[in-house]
Every structure is written in C-alpha cells, then in structure tokens.
Amino acid sequence: MAENGTATFDNPGDYQAGIGDASVNLIVTGGGDFNARLTWLNLRRFHVLRGDENLPRIAFISPSPAQVFVSFPTSAAPSLTYCGLGLQFGDVVFHSRGERMHQRTNGESQWGVISLPPEQLAACSKALTGLKITSPPAGRVLRPSRSAAVRLLRLHSKTCRLAETRHELIANPEVARALEQELLHALVNCLTADDANGDLQTRRRHADIMVRFEDALTSHGPQLNMPELCAALGVSERTLRTCCSTFLGMGPARYVQLRRLNLARAALRWSDPATDMAAIARRHGFSDLGRFTSAYRAAFGETPSATPRGAGSDAGGSATSSTRAESGTPGAVVSACMHGVQNVQVFRIHPVRRVHGTPACRL
C-alpha cells in the first residue's frame, strides 16, 4: 500500500523529528521565522522525499543503514553543501551505508531523497547495465549527463506533485508500480556517472574528523575548550578550523555556540513558563544571562523571553489537521492514527493542508 502526503512545520525540532529512517540534528544559523515542508511517497520499501526550507542551517545526518540513499538539490539555487562540497543543480550524492555526514544550506533550499533496499538497486542495475550497483564505501558526489539528471529531477518533481494532489492515482497499484519503475530506471542511469569532486582521500579524512567532532560535542557538551577538544580529536587546532570552515561554513567556536543556542531554544519551547530562564541558560553553557540574551537575539532575531514556551504542556500537542489513509481500494477513506505526530514535539500542520498516510515520513 502506498503512503503519501505533505506536512508543513514552523519549528526545527518538529521538522527534524518528522524525517523518519534517519537521525537528524538541525542547527539553524540564520534569524527569522522557520518554515519548512516535507512531501513524501512510500511505495513499500521504495521511498521518495522532498524538503523545502526557508532558513540557512547545518544538519548532521545519520540515515538508516538498512536502505540505500541518494540525495540531490531540486532547485538551481546554489544553496546545498554536502561534506564541504558545494553541489550544483543536477549533482547526485550516492551515500554509503550508515553514513554520518554534514549538510548545510546558506539560504532557502529545496532537496530530494530517494531510498530503496540494496537488493532492489542491485537487481535493477544488473538488468539495465549488466553491473550490480551497490553503495560506495564512502559517500560520492556524481555528476550525471544533463539528460539523465533532468529526467530524474522531472520524475521526482512529478511524483511529489502527485503525492500532494492526486491521492486517488497514488492509491492505484498500477500507477504506483509505474512510478517506482520509472524513478528506479532514472536513478540507475544517474548512478553510473563519474565523480564530480577530485580529492576524495582528503575529503574522506576531513569527514571522519567532523564525525568525531560531533561525537565529542555530544559526549562532553559545552565543557570542552578548544585545546581539550583538539586533544580529544587528535588533530591540531588549525586542522579543526579548516575542516569546520569547509564543512560548516564557520569556525568551531561559532558552531559550538550556535549548537548550544539551538539546544537552549528547544529547551525554552518545551519548558514550563515558570521555569527559571537563567537555569536553562546555565544548563547549556551560558553562565551570564545578559550575554546569553545578546547572543540569542543575534542568532534568532528575538530575545529568549519572546520565544513561546510550554509547547509540550498540552496533552494532545497542537496538531491541527485532517488525516486519512488510503486503503487498497482507490478513493476509500479510513481514519488514520496520528502516531507519527504524537512522537514529535509540536507537529503543526496548517489547517488547509491535509496529511495522507503516515505523518512521520520515511526516508
């Protein structure tokens, strides 16, 4: 049975929780009101996803090792950077199994993901090209021919439009099967392309340093200073600064501060209004409330006191949507449990938007 739908978000925490089959740590790096949208189509284990975001951010992403993942920018705006490499429109990222990587944007961005079982990719590529295509040992950025890239992007866009607007077609097994086969053939054609980047060895070494950098921040929190952090990673301060500048677009100190500010903002949203704000600031490494307020305002365009609090206090959250799931009969409508919504913070879906299938979409 096909599962499809679309959902809009006004909270980064809800947005990252809405992406299934992956661990996503999102750090917003620009001020303003956050708005994002996810559109998905799940055909058994063949999954299609599209994301639209309005603010710059850094994401540390760990997809499920059970699937093969391919991602790509879906707009011509030069906004998406994968592991320090700026992606061109038409580039395709072929991820390794269980990869942990950084992806950042410098403004509005649109991206797409296709994931599928490794055996399905191997069987289809063998039939089409005579060779079994498997996930690479490390992520690769491929640059397909213009015709191959255009075909994949058009099919991906068409599929997402159908997922948003033509639910009765998606419910038809023959239509769903045809979409899956078309996308799979287009994907295989793109995965036979050459690498777009040159020095793979250096990029892989730096990617490993950045994964260990994230692990150290998670393990030790804000307590580590720069010399201690470099010692824990076994790298020089110059090397760490170079890696952070390439992968994150900023130095390690700035990234650590933004990371703490984002965590503090999420804690504020979920805290009871009576909770001491200074205690939340201290818990995230800010001993001086005045400096915390100043840094918070510079990062998000509002003071901590202006951030809405108590988001988790309502038993039912604040989801406002109508939901339905497609049964095996085209057009049949049944009640859908909002379990995917209840597992995130405040999964806000605009009243005019309907969510079909499972709200927590799978990669």
- Mean pLDDT of all residues in 224-228: 86
The predicted-structure confidence for 170-219, as pLDDT tens digits, reads as follows 888 899 999 999 999 999 999 999 888 767 788 889 999 999 999 999 98
**Is there a contact between 138 and 204 (Cβ–Cβ < 8 Å)?**
yes
- Mean pLDDT of all residues in 340-356: 31
pLDDT band at 63 (very low <50, low <70, confident <90, very high): very high
pLDDT of residue 17: 86
Euclidean distance between CA atoms 294 and 302, whole angstroms:
9
**Is there a contact between 263 and 284 (Cβ–Cβ < 8 Å)?**
yes
Strands, E assignment, the chain:
2-9, 19-20, 22-28, 36-43, 46-53, 57-63, 68-73, 80-82, 85-86, 92-94, 101-105, 109-116, 140-142, 322-326, 333-334, 354-356, 361-362
Euclidean distance between CA atoms 131 and 43, whole angstroms:
25
**Residue 2 CA: distances (Å) to CA of 42, 43, 113, 166, 184:** 6, 5, 17, 12, 16
3-class DSSP assignment, residue 210: helix
Q: Which of 100-114, 121-135, 200-214 comes out lowest in average pLDDT?
A: 200-214
Residues 6+ apart with CB under 8 A from 209: 233, 235, 239, 240, 243
pLDDT band at 133 (very low <50, low <70, confident <90, very high): very high
Longest dimension (CA), the chain: 65
Average pLDDT, the chain: 83
pLDDT of residue 1: 67
pLDDT of residue 138: 92
pLDDT band at 22 (very low <50, low <70, confident <90, very high): confident
pLDDT band at 271 (very low <50, low <70, confident <90, very high): confident
The predicted-structure confidence for 25-62, as pLDDT tens digits, reads as follows 999 999 888 999 999 999 888 999 999 999 999 999 99
- Mean pLDDT of all residues in 259-281: 89
pLDDT band at 151 (very low <50, low <70, confident <90, very high): very high
| Strands 92-94, 19-20: pairing kind | unpaired
Based on the number of CB atoms within 10 Å of its own CB, is 287 exposed (0-12), middle (13-18) or buried (19 or more)? exposed
Q: Which of 107-116, 129-138, 256-265, 269-278 comes out lowest in average pLDDT?
A: 269-278
Residue found by looking up tokens 């392309």 in the block: 193
Euclidean distance between CA atoms 198 and 257, whole angstroms:
32
